[in-house]
Amino acid sequence: MNAKCQFKELAGARLSGGESFIMQGRHFLQIPGPSPVPDRILRAISMPVIDHRSAEFGALGRHVLEASKTVFKTEQPVVIYPSSGTGAWEAAIVNTLSPGDTVLMAETGHFATLWHQIAVKFGIEVEFIPGDWRRGADPATIEARLTEDKARRIKAVMVVHNETSTGATSRIAEIRKAIDAAGHPALFMVDTISSLGSVDYRHDEWRVDVTVSGSQKGLMLPPGLSFNAISEKAFAASKGNKLPRSYWDWQDMVKINATGFFPYTPATNLLYGLKEAIAMLHEEGLDNVFARHKRLAAACRAAVKAWGLEVLCENPAEQSPVLTGVLMPQGHDADRFRKITLEKYNISLGSGLGKVAGKVFRIGHLGECNELTLLGALSGVEMGLAAAGVPHRSGGVDAAMALLRDGAAQGQAPVAAVA
């Protein structure tokens, strides 16, 4: 194979018939994370690597550790790991629980199931409230179970805020009230991997004990950083629990973080990107960021309704500002549709995971996304539905455009530029 053919093989799109061609224009990355990385953040990450034991790095470390608190809305410590969100899941467990402890979790989707599996591997007994993957965790069910737990065997309640596999959010403030109404001392742990920086979240006000998050969603960074925001109650628990840890140990982290440094080599350049990402969120204003995500999500759901398709999340109050899961009509495969849409229109849509594999596709509308980005993505989806022979009505893009246009006419703030 000559050099020209090799280049085409690497850079071109492969069609079902075997031929390839070079796709022009931008690729639409509309999966619900990793989300597109803005140019400002890419430029920040491209800074030269510096000595992670230098005074210059210490200043960077102190800045990002303090600034991160503003996104979690906490005055308590936030630790940053060079890892994916899975590492932060593990850190939350090994710093607070002991083998044989019981925790209460809700089966809201694929990622709640994975967090459950990690807990089991550490010898934790998990009471898993069953769910149909079409709604968030139910505060009333959690309150009832905690009220029954007279012996206080349950040591933690663990909930995914935004279930990335389904597009359903859980009502964290209401779950906090449910725990309080039961008078239960359990720790409250929340996964915000796909919601932080996109959906309103209040670690201190909602008295969350451990908030887990990651860099590659609403923070608009590449994968590679994860976070634990830690309450005083959780930090106290970490001094006496029995699970071993080294890399994930909060005690080591918090002690050296006070000087801006880390107990091992940090992801230096991603921290430059984190500094820029937090600055961008505050330039737009967190409330404006949250309103933008809600507005774009409503437009996406208007398109789905106009197509005659069904949103996976059944409760409108729990439908995610971050992504929309769409059910395929019976007899039609979501992965085949996604493949055809990628090949023809250069757009990546999220696949169905776990129980909904092949039955659902997911449209991400988070991070660096505005009205025109969303409308371009919805155009690709609508054309892809036609190309794949999926039964639908036309006019979804028009419905989304009308919602966004009417919102602008009613004085809603336009989506701010984020790049």
SS3 state of residue 376: helix
Looking up tokens 């209401």, which residue turns up?
A: 174
Give binding residues as ranges.
Answer: 362
166 φ, ψ (degrees, to nearest 5):
-125, -25
3-state secondary structure 305-338: HHHCCEECCCCHHHECCCEEEEECCCCCCHHHHH
Q: Determine the residue type at 231.
A: S
Give binding residues for substrate as ranges.
Answer: 362
Q: Using an 8 Å Cβ cutoff, are 241 and 58 in contact?
A: no
DSSP per residue over 23-79, as a string?
A: PPS--EEESSSSPPPPHHHHHHHTSPP--TTSHHHHHHHHHHHHHHHHHHT-SS-EE
Report the distance separating Cα 307 and Cα 339, nearest Å.
19
Start-to-end CA span in the chain (Å): 40
SS3 state of residue 85: helix
